[in-house]
């Protein structure tokens, strides 16, 4: 064994014992961890106060709960100790991977299959769940997820490509929703006229916000965009004459099938096509509408990435000073990123208003911005596939928790899985940070190349941007 | 050496007319005067080297020329049109405009222009002391991004490009051709599709120069292009810079510490110390200039008064002299230059 090997061996033994050899040490460490957990739990978990029937304060001892927590800590410590060498090996193997690879042709095939599945999804849902049961799957899962996929792809332009951290993206979503609702209700414009107008108005707001804000960088930009999101929401709440305040706007005209309303009338969609009227027609139509909008977003973004403006966005994320030295007007470039991201947010907002028929400031809280940003970050900045997967996991996962009624039979009737949503998100984020700090898809596809094959640049070389 | 010192101070004959005239430029950072009343010219078709000890203000001068800093006072006039007279420059200065375009070139007052406009309109390109490539983008992408403004026009500000019109596709092909020309020149054609961050250091330096050249500049500013290069890479760099000077309508201004590079390829050398010019001329002239030797090597205490007088005369201003051991002159520097910068 060479000296280097010996040193490596020693280093490995330091960080993680081989099972069997240092089992006693690992057990001792796990015991210590469990003891710390018991110590921490004694004041905050062990004792619970509750009110007895005679209105007196009662002290309950929750020994089993503490025992379970200590046991979990014990097992967790063992897992970490024995898992560490495997994690280190995995990381070393990943570091050795070349920084540019040719993507297998299967990736392109997978994209086509995914789009085909998306198009077929409502029919699959109807076949599996029946016409009545499919509504939930198309509306709560399909449409809801696709709205966030579209928002994620829109924000991806700003955060993923241009590297500008925007914490107030929901503001543009709100501008789109309110402008479309107000235009439709006040002037009686149809959805198809209102949709582009909402996008344009949102883009204008993006530029308006951008002008004063984009000289800021990094944390400062994030804070100001956060403030902008809140300003928009507060204006919506307080400008009662126009927005109807907290009560929101109701009775927003529903989108029609190119002029045919989805109702039971003779001129309606069902009657015209000789179908029996069913409310599901509208849901399926809305599904295809948001699918088309989302695919438009994806197409436009991937197209723009291969144009000078998109390359300038990515160059801006890589190095702003170098951009300026090459004659790129960074302010204009940032503004275009902001405007285009905002425009897609506006489209999504207009769709949201038309789908709900009712909007209120409640729908545009900071939490929404955070969820959209989390989707972009988890997906891998700049990657469309990653963002779509992250949206499915985050939004679909939330919806799926509502379906877990069987857990009550195991854990008692008081158990509500949806209450653990944020905890699960948090756990997922922590695991992602450990496992894939740059998101699900961290590699970057070059926007132009000489050779054959779809290449992908490893995320370790791609910068995240800093403002 | 003594003969050179005895000869009258003159600007060694240079081949070409001025491209950039830096006149009475001063740059203050709060109380610190980094560049003090500096005037020199960059002549067309020359390789001009800006040398001087560490902290002499070379990079500050660069940042002022390329617009990354705004000089506190003074004028930086770039005249890229043929036959521009000082009267023309004076007219633009009086008019309050930032620049006046005239055919293929024009008069550009760089001290009034923001950095990206200097690169885009006055066509001054630069590289950086610590390489600033777009590491996550491929070598080819780096060179195509550099042609942003030309491609932006061709893509109809993205509208025509989004539709994929023939005009835009032609422009993009031309951009790739130009990139390939420079890749061929620096010998990196085989690595066109590799991420720039993956290249070895010397290749990154050359790629940064190629990227700057893709903007089609009239003036290329290189900040220590030979830093960190081995002798073979240095020699390659010299060849590349000569090729740029001789084969393209690009003049070069470079900061360099590697004297083998400076003396071998420069046509004109300007020496700075403590923010002031102490010598200006051909490499041979500068090499033998006692002021330069004193600034670089220091002088014996016995020779100090003589050397001091020499420097005073050279600077014609009260820039603090650098004695053999610390501050030999009794009076504090009027330019507040940082001490111990040698």
pLDDT at A453 exceeding the cut of 90: no
Q: Nearest CA to B208 among B218, B219, B220?
A: B220
Is B119 in contact with A325 (Cβ distance < 8 A)? Answer: yes
Q: Tell me which of A92, A123, A141 is where a domain ends.
A: A92
Q: Give one DSSP letter per residue of B135-191, joined into a string.
A: TTSBHHHHHHHTTHHHHHHHTTTTHHHHHT-HHHHHHHHHHHHHHHHHHHHHT-GGG
Nearest CA in chain B to A311: B145
Nearest CA in chain B to A313: B145
Same domain, B37 and B176: no
Judged on CB neighbours under 10 Å (0-12, 13-18, 19+), B295 is buried
- Write out pLDDT tens, residues A250-270: 988 888 887 788 877 777 787
A100, A326, A455 ranked by CB distance to B145: nearest: A326
Kindly state whether residue A54 falls inside one of the protein's structural domains. yes
Whole-angstrom distance, CA of residue A289 vs CA of residue A274: 22
Q: Nearest CA to B334 among B317, B309, B311?
A: B317
Residue A329's alpha-carbon distances to A16, B28, B64, B121, B152, in angstroms, are 52, 26, 18, 12, 11
Same domain, B46 and B191: no
Give the total number of structural domains in chain B: 2
A75-84, A127-136, A382-391, B172-181: least confident range? A127-136
Chain A residues within 8 A (CB-CB) of chain B?
99-100, 300, 303-304, 307-309, 311-312, 314-315, 318-319, 321-330, 336, 444, 446-451, 455, 457-458, 461-463
Residue A142's alpha-carbon distances to A40, A192, A199, A285, in angstroms, are 44, 22, 22, 12
Same domain, A80 and A183: no
pLDDT band (50, 70, 90) for residue B300:
low
Q: Tell me which of A49, A72, A92 is where a domain ends.
A: A92
Same domain, A347 and A229: yes
What's the mean pLDDT in B325-334?
37
pLDDT at A452 exceeding the cut of 90: no
Residue B144, chain A, CB below 8 Å: the answer is yes
Kindly state whether residue A25 falls inside one of the protein's structural domains. yes
Query: In chain A, which residues have their Cβ closer than 8 Å to the Cβ of B137?
Result: 311, 314-315, 318, 446-447, 457
Instruction: Tell me the residue range of the domain where B309 lies.
Output: 1-122+218-342
Query: In chain A, which residues have their Cβ closer than 8 Å to the Cβ of B68?
Result: 321, 324-325
Enumerate residues 234 to 273 of chain B having a beta carbon within 8 A of any beta carbon in chain A.
none
Kindly state whether residue A32 falls inside one of the protein's structural domains. yes
Query: In chain B, which residues have their Cβ closer than 8 Å to the Cβ of A325?
Result: 66, 68, 115, 119, 125-128, 132, 212
Which residues, in sequence order, are bridge partners of residue A60? A48
Q: Are the beta carbons of A379 and A387 closer than 8 angstroms?
A: yes
Return all residues near B183 (Cβ < 8 A) that are at least 6 apart.
B139, B140, B143, B189, B192, B210
Q: What φ, ψ does residue B85 adopt, rounded to 5°? A: -100, 170
Task: Quote the mean pLDDT of chain B.
Answer: 81
Residue A140's alpha-carbon distances to A123, A135, A260, A371, in angstroms, are 15, 8, 24, 17
Same domain, B39 and B168: no
Helix, strand and coil percent figures for chain A, each rounded to 5: 70, 5, 25
A407-411, A421-425, B16-20, B199-203: least confident range? A407-411
Same domain, A85 and A160: no
Same domain, B212 and B226: no
Nearest CA in chain B to A452: B193
Kindly state whether residue A211 falls inside one of the protein's structural domains. yes
Residue B158, chain A, CB below 8 Å: the answer is yes
Same domain, A117 and A259: yes
Q: Tell me which of B184, B216, B248 is where a domain ends.
A: B216
- Kindly report the nearest CA distance between residue A322 and chain B, in angstroms: 6
Task: Encode burial over A157-169: b for 16+ CB neighbours within 10 A, e otherwise.
Answer: bbbbbbbbbbbbb
The first and second tokens of residue A188, run together, are 């009686």
* CATH code (residue A442): 1.10.3470
pLDDT at B336 exceeding the cut of 60: no
Give the total number of structural domains in chain A: 2
Kindly state whether residue B70 falls inside one of the protein's structural domains. yes
Residue B104's alpha-carbon distances to A461, B101, B178, in angstroms, are 39, 8, 20
Instruction: Tell me the residue range of the domain where A47 lies.
Output: 3-92
Same domain, B250 and B207: no
Kindly state whether residue B331 falls inside one of the protein's structural domains. yes
Kindly state whether residue A411 falls inside one of the protein's structural domains. no
Return all residues near B22 (Cβ < 8 A) that are at least 6 apart.
B38, B39, B40, B41, B42, B61, B65, B74, B75, B76
pLDDT at A274 exceeding the cut of 80: no
Task: Quote the mean pLDDT of chain A.
Answer: 85
Q: Tell me which of A40, A66, A92 is where a domain ends.
A: A92
Kindly state whether residue B140 falls inside one of the protein's structural domains. yes
- Kindly report the nearest CA distance between residue A96 and chain B, in angstroms: 13
- Write out pLDDT tens, residues B236-268: 899 999 999 888 888 999 998 888 888 889 999
- Based on its alpha-carbon atoms, the radius of gyration of chain A, rounded to whole angstroms, reads 26
Same domain, A30 and A122: no
Sheet-wide strand order for B219-223: B124-126, B219-223, B251-255, B47-51, B268-273, B276-281
Same domain, B208 and B224: no
- Write out pLDDT tens, residues B168-218: 888 999 999 999 999 999 999 999 999 999 999 999 999 999 999 999 999
Q: Are the beta carbons of A375 and A394 closer than 8 angstroms?
A: yes
DSSP label of A437: T
pLDDT number for residue A237: 94
Same domain, A37 and A170: no
What's the mean pLDDT in A290-295?
94
Same domain, A154 and A111: yes
- Kindly report the nearest CA distance between residue B82 and chain A, in angstroms: 23
- Using DSSP bridges, classify how beta strands B32-43 and B18-29 pair: parallel, antiparallel or unpaired: antiparallel
pLDDT band (50, 70, 90) for residue B221:
very high
Q: In 10 A of CB A454, how many CB atoms?
A: 14
Same domain, A381 and A338: yes
pLDDT at B50 exceeding the cut of 90: yes
Same domain, B101 and B240: yes
Query: In chain A, which residues have their Cβ closer than 8 Å to the Cβ of B162?
Result: 300, 303-304, 307
Whole-angstrom distance, CA of residue B229 vs CA of residue B243: 19
pLDDT at A103 exceeding the cut of 90: no
Kindly state whether residue A426 falls inside one of the protein's structural domains. no
Same domain, B235 and B168: no
The separation between the first and the last C-alpha atoms of chain B, rounded to the nearest angstrom, is 23
Same domain, B91 and B193: no
- Write out pLDDT tens, residues B308-328: 666 666 665 444 433 333 333
Interface test with B, best of A308, A319, A462 (most B CBs within 10 A): A308
A89-93, B25-29, B195-199, B300-304: least confident range? B300-304
Q: Tell me which of B216, B242, B266 is where a domain ends.
A: B216
Same domain, A285 and A362: yes
Q: Tell me which of B216, B232, B262 is where a domain ends.
A: B216
pTM for this entry:
0.82
Kindly state whether residue B127 falls inside one of the protein's structural domains. no
Residue at token pair 């770039």: B78
DSSP label of B335: T
- Kindly report the nearest CA distance between residue B49 and chain A, in angstroms: 20
Q: Nearest CA to A176 among A213, A203, A155, A142?
A: A203
Same domain, A238 and A117: yes
pLDDT band (50, 70, 90) for residue A41:
confident
pLDDT band (50, 70, 90) for residue B301:
low
* CATH code (residue B78): 3.40.50.300
Q: In 10 A of CB B101, how many CB atoms?
A: 13
Same domain, B223 and B139: no
Helix (H, G, I), strand (E, B) or coil at A183: helix
Is B116 in contact with A300 (Cβ distance < 8 A)? Answer: no
Q: Are the beta carbons of B56 and B275 closer than 8 angstroms?
A: yes
Same domain, B322 and B308: yes
Query: In chain A, which residues have their Cβ closer than 8 Å to the Cβ of B210?
Result: none
Same domain, A189 and A78: no
Judged on CB neighbours under 10 Å (0-12, 13-18, 19+), A104 is exposed
ipTM attached to this prediction: 0.81
Same domain, B46 and B11: yes
Q: Where are the beta strands (DSSP E) in chain B?
A: 18-29, 32-43, 47-51, 73-79, 99-102, 105-109, 124-126, 219-223, 251-255, 268-273, 276-281
Judged on CB neighbours under 10 Å (0-12, 13-18, 19+), A325 is buried
Kindly state whether residue A422 falls inside one of the protein's structural domains. no
Kindly state whether residue B95 falls inside one of the protein's structural domains. yes
Whole-angstrom distance, CA of residue B77 vs CA of residue B130: 27
Same domain, A68 and A132: no
Is B126 in contact with A303 (Cβ distance < 8 A)? Answer: no
A303, A324, A455 ranked by CB distance to B115: nearest: A324
Interface test with A, best of B113, B132, B136, B198 (most A CBs within 10 A): B136
pLDDT band (50, 70, 90) for residue B42:
very high
- Kindly report the nearest CA distance between residue B223 and chain A, in angstroms: 13
């Amino acid at each position: 064994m060479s000296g280097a090997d010996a040193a490596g061996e020693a280093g490995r033994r330091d960080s993680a014992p081989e099972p069997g050899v240092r089992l006693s040490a690992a057990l001792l460490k796990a015991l210590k961890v469990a003891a710390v957990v018991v110590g921490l739990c004694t004041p905050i978990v062990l004792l619970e106060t509750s009110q007895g029937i005679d209105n007196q304060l009662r002290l309950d001892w929750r020994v089993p709960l503490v025992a379970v927590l200590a046991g979990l800590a014990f097992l967790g410590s063992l897992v970490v100790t024995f898992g560490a060498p495997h994690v280190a090996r995995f990381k070393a193997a990943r570091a050795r991977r070349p920084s540019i690879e040719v993507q297998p042709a299967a990736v392109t095939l997978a994209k086509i299959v995914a789009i085909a599945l998306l198009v077929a999804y409502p029919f699959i849902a109807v076949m599996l769940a029946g016409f009545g049961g499919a509504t939930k799957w198309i509306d709560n899962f399909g449409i809801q997820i696709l709205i966030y996929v579209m928002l994620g792809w829109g924000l991806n332009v700003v955060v993923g490509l241009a590297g500008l951290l925007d914490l107030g993206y929901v503001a543009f979503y709100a501008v789109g929703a309110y402008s479309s609702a107000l235009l439709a209700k006040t002037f009686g414009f149809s959805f198809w006229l209102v949709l582009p107008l909402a996008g344009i108005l949102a883009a204008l707001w993006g530029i308006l916000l951008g002008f004063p804000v984009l000289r800021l960088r990094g944390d400062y930009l994030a804070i100001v965009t956060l403030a902008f999101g809140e300003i928009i929401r507060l204006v919506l709440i307080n400008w009662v004459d126009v927005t109807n305040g907290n009560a929101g706007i109701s009775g927003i005209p529903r989108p029609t099938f190119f002029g045919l309303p989805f109702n039971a009338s003779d001129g309606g969609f069902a009657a015209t096509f000789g179908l029996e009227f069913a409310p599901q027609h509208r849901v399926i139509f809305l599904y295809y509408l948001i699918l088309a909008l989302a695919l438009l977003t994806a197409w436009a973004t991937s197209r723009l990435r291969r144009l000078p403006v998109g390359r300038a966005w990515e160059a801006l994320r890589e190095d702003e000073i170098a951009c300026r030295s090459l004659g790129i007007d960074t302010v204009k470039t940032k503004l275009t990123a902001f405007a285009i991201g905002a425009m897609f947010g506006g489209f999504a907002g207009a769709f949201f208003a038309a789908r709900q028929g009712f909007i209120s400031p409640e729908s545009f809280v900071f939490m929404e911005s955070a969820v959209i940003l989390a989707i972009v970050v988890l997906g891998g900045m700049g990657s469309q596939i990653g963002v779509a997967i992250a949206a499915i996991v985050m939004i679909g996962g939330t919806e799926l928790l509502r379906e877990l009624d069987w857990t009550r039979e195991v854990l008692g009737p008081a158990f509500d899985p949806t209450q653990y949503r944020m905890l699960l998100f948090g756990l997922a984020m922590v695991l992602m940070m450990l496992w894939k700090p740059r998101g699900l898809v961290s590699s970057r596809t070059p926007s132009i190349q000489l050779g054959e094959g779809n290449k992908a640049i490893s995320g370790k070389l791609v910068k995240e941007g800093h403002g | 050496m003594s003969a050179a010192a005895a000869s009258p101070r003159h600007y060694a004959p240079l081949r070409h007319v001025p491209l950039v005239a830096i006149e009475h430029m001063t740059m203050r950072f709060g109380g610190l005067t980094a560049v003090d009343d500096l005037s020199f010219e960059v002549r067309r078709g020359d390789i001009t080297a800006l040398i001087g000890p560490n902290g002499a203000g070379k990079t500050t001068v660069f940042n002022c020329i390329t617009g990354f800093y705004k000089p506190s006072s003074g004028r930086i006039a770039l005249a890229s049109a043929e036959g521009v007279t000082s009267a023309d420059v004076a007219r633009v200065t009086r008019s309050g405009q930032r620049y006046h375009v005239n055919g293929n070139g024009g008069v550009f007052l760089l001290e009034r222009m923001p950095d990206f406009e200097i690169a885009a309109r006055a066509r001054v390109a630069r590289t950086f002391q610590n390489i600033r490539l777009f590491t996550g983008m491929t070598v080819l992408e780096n060179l195509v991004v550099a042609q942003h403004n030309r491609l932006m026009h061709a893509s109809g500000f993205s509208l025509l490009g989004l539709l994929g019109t023939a005009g835009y596709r032609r422009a993009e092909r031309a951009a790739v051709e130009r990139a390939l020309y420079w890749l061929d020149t620096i010998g990196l054609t085989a690595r066109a599709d590799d991420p720039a961050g993956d290249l070895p250091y010397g290749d990154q330096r050359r790629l940064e120069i190629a990227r700057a050249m893709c903007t089609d500049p009239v003036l290329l500013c290189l900040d220590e292009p030979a830093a960190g290069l081995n002798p073979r890479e240095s020699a390659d760099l010299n060849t590349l810079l000569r090729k740029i000077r001789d084969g393209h309508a690009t003049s070069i201004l470079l900061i360099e510490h590697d004297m083998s590079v400076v003396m071998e390829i420069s046509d004109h050398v300007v020496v700075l110390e403590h923010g002031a010019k102490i010598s200006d001329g051909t490499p041979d002239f500068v090499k033998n200039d006692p002021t330069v030797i004193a600034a670089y090597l220091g002088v014996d205490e016995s020779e100090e008064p003589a050397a001091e007088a020499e420097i005073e005369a050279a600077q014609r201003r009260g820039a603090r002299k650098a004695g053999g051991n610390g501050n030999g002159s009794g009076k504090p520097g009027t330019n507040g230059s940082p001490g111990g910068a040698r």
